[in-house]
Amino acid sequence: MTKKVIVITGASSGIGEATAKLLASQGNQLVLGARREDRLKEISDNIKTAGGEAVYSVTDVTNLDSVKELAKTAMDAYGRIDVWMNNAGLMPQSVLSDGKVEDWNRMIDVNLKGVLYGINASLGIMREQQSGHYINTSSIAGHIVGPGSSVYSATKHGVLAISEGLRQEEAQAGSNVRVTTISPGAIATELTNSITDEAVRKGTEQFYNEYAISPERVAESIAFAVNLPADASINEIIVRPSKQVM
Q: Does 226 bind ligand NDP (CB under 6 A)?
A: no
Q: Does 60 bind ligand NDP (CB under 6 A)?
A: yes
Which of these segments, 21-29, 43-51, 169-177, 180-188, binds ligand NDP (CB under 6 A)?
A: 180-188
User: Rule CB under 6 A: which of 11-30 touch ligand NDP?
Assistant: 11-16
Applying CB under 6 A, which of residues 43, 54, 61, 195 lies at the interface with ligand NDP?
A: 61
Q: Return the H-helix or E-strand segment holding 156.
A: helix 150-173
Among 140, 168, 185, CA closest to 233: 168
Question: Residue 111 or 221: which CB sits closer to ligand NDP?
Answer: 111
Which of these segments, 24-32, 57-65, 221-229, 236-244, binds ligand NDP (CB under 6 A)?
A: 57-65
Which of these segments, 5-13, 21-29, 42-50, 237-245, binds ligand NDP (CB under 6 A)?
A: 5-13
Applying CB under 6 A, which of residues 151, 191, 195, 200 lies at the interface with ligand NDP?
A: 191
**Distance in angstroms (rounded) separating the CA atoms of residues 60 and 40:** 13
CB of 172 to ligand NDP, least distance (A): 27
Q: Which residues, in sequence order, are CB contacts of 34 under 8 Å at separation 6+? A: 9, 10, 11, 12, 13, 16, 40, 58, 59, 88
Task: State yes or no: is 78 an active-site residue.
Answer: no
End-to-end CA distance of the chain: 36
Q: Does 196 bind ligand NDP (CB under 6 A)?
A: no
Q: Which residues, in sequence order, are CB contacts of 70 under 8 Å at separation 6+? A: 7, 9, 31, 33, 57, 59, 121
User: Rule CB under 6 A: which of 120-179 touch ligand NDP?
Assistant: 137, 139
**Distance in angstroms (rounded) separating the CA atoms of residues 226 and 23:** 9
List residues bridging with 238 in a β-sheet: 183
**Distance in angstroms (rounded) separating the CA atoms of residues 83 and 65:** 20
**Distance in angstroms (rounded) separating the CA atoms of residues 182 and 138:** 6
Question: Residue 35 or 68: which CB sits closer to ligand NDP?
Answer: 35
Question: Residue 29 or 111: which CB sits closer to ligand NDP?
Answer: 111
Which stretches of the chain bind ligand NDP, using CB under 6 A? 9-16, 34-36, 39, 59-62, 87-91, 110-111, 137, 139, 184, 186-187, 189-191, 215
The catalytic residues are 152
